[in-house]
Structure 1
Amino acid sequence: MLKVVKPELEDLWFRESMMADIETMSYNDAWGGTIPFPKEDWEEWYTLWVRNSGQERYYRYLKDDANKVFVGEISYHFDKLRNIYICDVIIKAEFRKQGFGTQGIQLLCEAAKANGVKVLYDDIAADNPSTHLFLKNGFSIEFQNDEILMVKTVL
């Protein structure tokens, strides 16, 4: 069973480790793969995404309650250019294929709905296998080309 956890600043070591993990970030290969997240950036990022998140941003860790370990993260933010909420679910590679992705999507949708979000989107690389995960959890294809697949769900 997964638990949604609001991370503390010092917990950002987990995000740093996920962003640096080649296998976890393989879905991002088309856009550069791993993403540096050095400790000197944590405070500013944390203030924006966690401390002052409001309705336009939401960020939480997913914790496996049975094993007491973080397994991934869920988030959404309002994209002002496109006038839509974009979501993100990342499960650390070593914890994939255990149902955490499905639980994460469900928990994210519940949180977004509770926060007044009516529609969530995600733009996924066309070759990303997580497309199936979103489609089996109530998202539908809004747009598709050779590079991306835009999925959408009404909450």
Structure 2
Amino acid sequence: MNTFILVQGARMRDVLVGAAFQAQDAAELMVSGVRYGVSRPLNGIKAQERMEEMASRGAAEREKAQRRAAATLDAAITAIATSAVVNKMVDAQVQRILRPLVRDILDDVLALLEKEPDRVQSLMRGQRDTMVDELVGRIRSGAAAGDDAVDRITTRVLRRDA
């Protein structure tokens, strides 16, 4: 069974290489046909106009193919990034590197807290004060915006100019 799969895989590789060469031959024939067709006027359209039309279409098709390729690449990257294998690799690295690092840092912080509790407490008080100041600032700005809205509504209701 495995020998059949290997032979079939090698054969498939030959088929793909053959297909690539056939595509090259077809492209060469197309270029020859375009050169021949452009050299002859068709329905009163000059060769230069036909070349411009083909160039415009070629540019549009190239851009379309690039967008398709980009979308396909994005989908492939997303599929790889969200695959179970990648998740397992990331989890293994986190377990191997990050968890011991966090444990060591946490041990250092706890040791520092044990040795110098006043230093850490002052740091925490400073953080608390900063958070309180930020919250009060947000409340003030919200109240000011509310006052402005009430003033506008009152002015409209009473129909007087501010």
TM-score range, shorter chain: under 0.3
Greater strand proportion? 1
TM-score by length of 1: 0.18
Task: Decide which structure has the larger Cα Rg and report it.
Answer: 2
Greater helix proportion? 2
